[in-house]
Amino acid sequence: MKTLATTVATLALLGGAAWAEDPLPLTLQLKWVTQAQFDGYYVAKDKGFYEEEGLDVTIKPGGPDIAPVQVLAGGGADVVVEWMPAALAAREKGLPIVNIAQPFKSSGMMLTCLKETGITDPKTDFRGKTLGVWFSGNEYPFLSWMNHLGLSTDGGPEGVTVLKQGFNVDPLLQKQAACISTMTYNEFGQVLDAGISADDLVTFKYEDQGVATLEDGLYVLESTLQDKPKVTALVRFVRATMKGFEYAAANPEEAAEIVLENDETGAQTLEHQIRMAQEIAKLTEGSTGVLDVADYQRTVDTLMSGGSDPVITKAPEGAYVTTITDRAFD
């Protein structure tokens, strides 16, 4: 019995050594630049959560010229952070992209308007106005909302004029648009930092308007799910990532500092990143990483019911799997 116990202990040590020497590589492509929107990933890497799972994770920041679905299609990443409308639109066009986990439970997207424009109700007051909209896949939730309101996006007094918005708040500050796209955790704070009082603004959250769609999910190609080592890596990655988001939510100041340590541009400030981390915690609250089928269906229904020009034209098949989260959290 003693010899057997010794043998088992020795094998365990050898197994642990092999795990440490041969970590599974995984490359993650973020949807945007290094910021606290992605604090869960940076925290998981910094605190050793990925290492504890036997992973060697490379985190690639995004930017205005980087579309995660294109990076995924080109083999530049194993897994990407993407919004579900962009992912489902890409899938309908032929890219076999699949949701494997959903860290964000709620949407942070909204339109922020100057109160002086007189806009108080989207159903009646958007008509004839210029609205700032992000593109590169971020336009889909907006276009779906306008379709729900029955508003053309071709301009004119009975529709809305779409201003292709850069990833800043200048169109509102310069009064080029009555409203601009903002995220609760980022651009809204930039508007306030620019000196505009919250009392001079009117905001319309997609969540409150009943047109919210799922944001910041984790996506892979279908072929990746046939690769057993990659599947093993993804299971461990999702488990460690959610541990990272949980830690970041409980420690927003530390999470912000970790994000700053990974920001090679030097463009971020600690104050802004702390505020962002606190807001991100609100969006991940209630999420275990497991995709809520009801949230998925709401997103699909929203995207399909947008009048004559819906974002997707038919119910997707095979657009998500639960096998990764089932193994990660069982």
Mean pLDDT check: name the lowest of 92-96, 107-111, 210-214, 287-291. Answer: 210-214
pLDDT given at position 219: 98
Average pLDDT over residues 34-46: 98
pLDDT given at position 10: 44
Domains and CATH numbers, the chain: 20-104+214-329 (3.40.190.10), 109-209 (3.40.190.10)
Taking CA atoms, 227 is separated from 5, 173, 223, in Å, by 35, 49, 7
In sequence order, the 6+-apart residues with CB closer than 8 A to the CB of 151 are: 126, 127, 158, 159, 160
CB neighbourhood size of 193 (10 A):
13
One-character DSSP codes across 106-173:
S--EEEEEEGGGT---HHHHSTT-EEEE--TTTHHHHHHHHHHHT--SB-STTS-EEEE--SSSHHHH
pLDDT given at position 3: 42
Q: Between 17 and 248, where is the model more confident?
A: 248
Q: Is the pTM of this model over 0.75?
A: yes
pLDDT tens-digit map of 24-33: 999 999 999 9
Instruction: Say yes or no to pLDDT of 191 above 80.
Output: yes
Q: How far apart are CA 105 and CA 302, in angstroms?
A: 16
CA angle (83 as vertex; 47, 324 as ends), nearest 5? 55
Quick one: DSSP state of residue 23? P
- pLDDT confidence band for 305 (50 / 70 / 90): confident
Question: Which of 248, 253, 236, 202 lies closest to 325 in space, CA to CA?
Answer: 236
Average pLDDT over residues 35-48: 98
Question: For residue 196, with 0-12 CB atoms within 10 Å meaning exposed, 13-18 middle and 19 or more buried, which class applies?
Answer: middle
Instruction: Say yes or no to pLDDT of 295 above 50.
Output: yes
